[in-house]
Structure 1
Amino acid sequence: MFKTFSQNRLTRPRLSFAIIAILSGLIAPASQAADSRITVGTGGKGGYYFQIGDLICKSFTRETIGYKCQAKATNGPTENLPKLQNGKFDIVVARSDWAKQALNGGGYFQSNGSNPALRSLFSVHSEPLTIVARKDAGIHTAGDLSGKRVRLGRSATRLVKQIPDSANWDVSAFQTVKPKDMKAQYSALCAGKVDAVAAVVGYPSGVIQKTAETCPIHFVNLSGQQIDKLVAGSDALSKTTIPANVYTSITAPTNSLGYKAILLSSAEVSDADVYAFVKSTFENLSDLGRRHPSLSSLQPSEMIRDGLSAPMHPGAIQYYQEQGWIK
């Protein structure tokens, strides 16, 4: 009896270690093989694009078994869209007008050629044309800009030129300003050296908030049948409203038009990967909204419609059809 007991004490641990080693050998490779990596190109680390891409990525990794997602800080669409086309990124964040240029091989992307494989997933926050006027400048409608001292960001210049009747304006005192010089224009506005500043910018904007705290300003409403027609003629444009009380003293909502920040992928990225990414985003939309103000008021009906300037990815379509959002 003693001999048998001694043998059992010696052989059982050996058997246990053998079983653990076998199980470890079987389980670890399977777990590693299941992890699919998604890389998202965003924007500069201090900007909305990186913050949003990073939030969505972290949520995706946390909530979806078998995936790891990493948000990469970049120089924006001029880096994101070529790297997406070359397969270095799986998903990118870009503004809807930049996406349209990349799809067609126009503007900045003329030398790259068209990218017919570009695919939309969904849009996120709006980047409206925001026309900030000094209260005593006599600017109440878009037409009142004629003959005024107006400073415009580059994207705002393109949009302002498309406003109906703008061809008849006196634009002799209009000036397009480089991005690095835009901040100074808001100071000039408060100093009475400029009558209005127009920029395509997401809200809330820190520089506009500072301007609102410094001098009396208001926003110029952009609405009506002609604006509706302009938006209807471009899949990169959408109508938007800057909510009341986003900025100090701006107590009424402001109607405008502009672009959307959108998430894009490529037809080369698998339907399964895109489906998983889209599903995770929409199922955790409330949590994402609590983590960043620009995501707090998103509506699925708008996210799958507005600003999608490239065809929709089949993986995204599958999820939207399952939800009954599209046919």
Structure 2
Amino acid sequence: MLILPRFSFLIIAALIGSIAPASQAADIKVTVGTGGKGGYYFHVGDLICKSFDRETNGYKCRAKPTDGPTENLPKLQSGKFDIVVARSDWAKQALEGGGYFQSKGPNPALRSLFSIHSEPLTIVARKDAGIYTAGDLTGKRVRLGRSATHLVKQIPSSAKWDVSSFQTVKPNDMKAQYSALCAGKIDAVAAVVGYPSGLIQKTAHTCPIHLVNLSGQPIDKLIAGSDALSKETIPANAYTGITAPTKSFGYKAVFLSSAEFSDEDVYAFVKFTFESLSELGHEHPALSSLQPSEMIRDSLPAPMHPGAVRYYREQGWIK
């Protein structure tokens, strides 16, 4: 009987371990930067991530609550996050090194995966204020959220576009503006916000309101000149008393990654998301009416990630 030295058993054991089945390999970790715990970005990112983790073999996905794009986009660039959620205008700034990211410089490695729920410019007017289109805002007392200021003042409504009575207010002051609207102290409030907004719904229960339609050739031209903007429609009955759809435009929440993140891993994440849209939509209203054709087309300022392109080509959605 041949007796092998003790170290021979150790070598054999090591060799056996090195050819263990792939299923025993460590799962690939995917970290997703989202937003504050109380907001859409965290809830949507967390839902998709947990579902991807549970239903896809070989991956462990964790969604992280964050301070939003000012944390997400730099951490994506540094490799601390694999995927992030950010509004399309912030993504455009990061890509080009503009706005908040001017001091940090452009991030040419930023890549788009898909867009999700919209955040349209929503102009809420008191019903008796006589404001039905953007042109009717001229000379009115309008209060603007910070994100709305840039959009409203870009609307080329007329050569006599008078914005002297428009005022930008801080985020913490927006609740007071809706109260002032119902009290007759101002005529309209403009905000970039996903629907349904709890604050706007509360206002609709307090006084009769009207949502201002924003459409036409000048606005189409504005949208055509920006990768971050897209047409949006606030559906009928999103708010009490608003029984017709309201045309508008604005931004979308976008899932983004870096060019350095593996094509295979992006492909797996994108494939799971699109093939689970129906189930995910039952879990969160922001995902309930998404259309793939819009998700891969609208408000995507960064080039598409090759892993996402591969899946979209397989589906025949792009060439």
**Residue ranges of structure 1 left out of the alignment (5+ in a row):** 1-20
Q: How far does residue 37 in structure 1 lie from its aligned partner after superposition?
A: 0.4
Helix, strand or coil at the partner of 2:226? coil
The alignment status of 1:112 with 2:104, answered yes or no, reads: yes
Equivalent residue in structure 2 for 1:71, among 30, 40, 63: 63
Q: How far does residue 140 in structure 1 lie from its aligned partner after superposition?
A: 1.1
The alignment status of 1:260 with 2:258, answered yes or no, reads: no
Instruction: Decide whether the 8 Å contact of 2:157 with 2:218 is kept in 1.
Output: no
Match of residue 221 from structure 1? 213
Match of residue 161 from structure 1? 153
Q: How far does residue 29 in structure 1 lie from its aligned partner after superposition?
A: 8.5
Question: Using the alignment, how far apart are the partners of 1:156 and 1:167 within structure 2?
Answer: 20
Question: Using the alignment, how far apart are the partners of 1:318 and 1:147 within structure 2?
Answer: 51
Q: Deviation digits for residues 57-116 of structure 1, max 9, x if unmatched?
A: 011111110001000000000000000000000000000000000000000001111000
TM-score, normalising length from structure 1?
A: 0.91
**Residue ranges of structure 2 left out of the alignment (5+ in a row):** 1-12
Match of residue 325 from structure 1? 317
Question: Using the alignment, how far apart are the partners of 1:222 and 1:80 within structure 2?
Answer: 31
Counterpart residue type for residue 274 of structure 1:
V
Q: How far does residue 28 in structure 1 lie from its aligned partner after superposition?
A: 8.1
Greater Rg over alpha carbons, structure: 1
Match of residue 41 from structure 2? 49
The alignment status of 1:235 with 2:227, answered yes or no, reads: yes
How many pairs does the alignment contain?
306
Q: How far does residue 34 in structure 1 lie from its aligned partner after superposition?
A: 3.9
Counterpart residue type for residue 67 of structure 2:
N
Question: Using the alignment, how far apart are the partners of 2:232 and 2:273 within structure 1?
Answer: 22
Counterpart residue type for residue 127 of structure 2:
K
Match of residue 74 from structure 2? 82
Q: How far does residue 33 in structure 1 lie from its aligned partner after superposition?
A: 2.6
Question: Using the alignment, how far apart are the partners of 2:160 and 2:199 within structure 1?
Answer: 31
Match of residue 196 from structure 1? 188
Equivalent residue in structure 2 for 1:187, among 169, 179, 184: 179
Counterpart residue type for residue 188 of structure 1:
A
The alignment status of 1:308 with 2:300, answered yes or no, reads: yes
Match of residue 115 from structure 2? 123
Question: Using the alignment, how far apart are the partners of 2:24 and 2:244 within structure 1?
Answer: 53
Counterpart residue type for residue 200 of structure 2:
I
1:62/1:210 CA distance change after superposition, 3 Å: same
The alignment status of 1:94 with 2:86, answered yes or no, reads: yes
Helix, strand or coil at the partner of 2:175? helix
Question: Using the alignment, how far apart are the partners of 1:31 and 1:142 within structure 2?
Answer: 59
Q: Deviation digits for residues 172-224 of structure 1, max 9, x if unmatched?
A: 22100111111111011001111000000001100000000110001000011
Question: Using the alignment, how far apart are the partners of 1:173 and 1:179 within structure 2?
Answer: 19
Question: Using the alignment, how far apart are the partners of 2:215 and 2:41 within structure 1?
Answer: 27
- What is the 5 A alignment of 1:145-160? 145-160=137-152
Q: How far does residue 284 in structure 1 lie from its aligned partner after superposition?
A: 0.4
Runs of 4+ in 1 over 6 A off after TM superposition: 24-29
Match of residue 168 from structure 2? 176
Match of residue 6 from structure 2? none
Question: Using the alignment, how far apart are the partners of 1:171 and 1:160 within structure 2?
Answer: 9
Question: Using the alignment, how far apart are the partners of 1:29 and 1:109 within structure 2?
Answer: 45
Instruction: Decide whether the 8 Å contact of 1:160 with 1:166 is kept in 2.
Output: no
Instruction: Decide whether the 8 Å contact of 2:130 with 2:136 is kept in 1.
Output: yes
Instruction: Decide whether the 8 Å contact of 1:161 with 1:167 is kept in 2.
Output: no
Counterpart residue type for residue 303 of structure 1:
M
Question: Using the alignment, how far apart are the partners of 2:101 and 2:119 within structure 1?
Answer: 21
1:66/1:135 CA distance change after superposition, 3 Å: same
Counterpart residue type for residue 187 of structure 1:
S
Instruction: Decide whether the 8 Å contact of 1:97 with 1:259 is kept in 2.
Output: yes
Richer in helix (by share): 1
Match of residue 11 from structure 1? none
Counterpart residue type for residue 149 of structure 2:
T
Q: Deviation digits for residues 2-21 of structure 1, max 9, x if unmatched?
A: xxxxxxxxxxxxxxxxxxx9
Instruction: Decide whether the 8 Å contact of 2:153 with 2:163 is kept in 1.
Output: no
TM-score, normalising length from structure 2?
A: 0.93
Match of residue 244 from structure 1? 236
Question: Using the alignment, how far apart are the partners of 1:112 and 1:197 within structure 2?
Answer: 33
Question: Using the alignment, how far apart are the partners of 2:39 and 2:231 within structure 1?
Answer: 23
Question: Using the alignment, how far apart are the partners of 1:27 and 1:45 within structure 2?
Answer: 43
Q: Deviation digits for residues 129-157 of structure 1, max 9, x if unmatched?
A: 00000011111110111111100011100
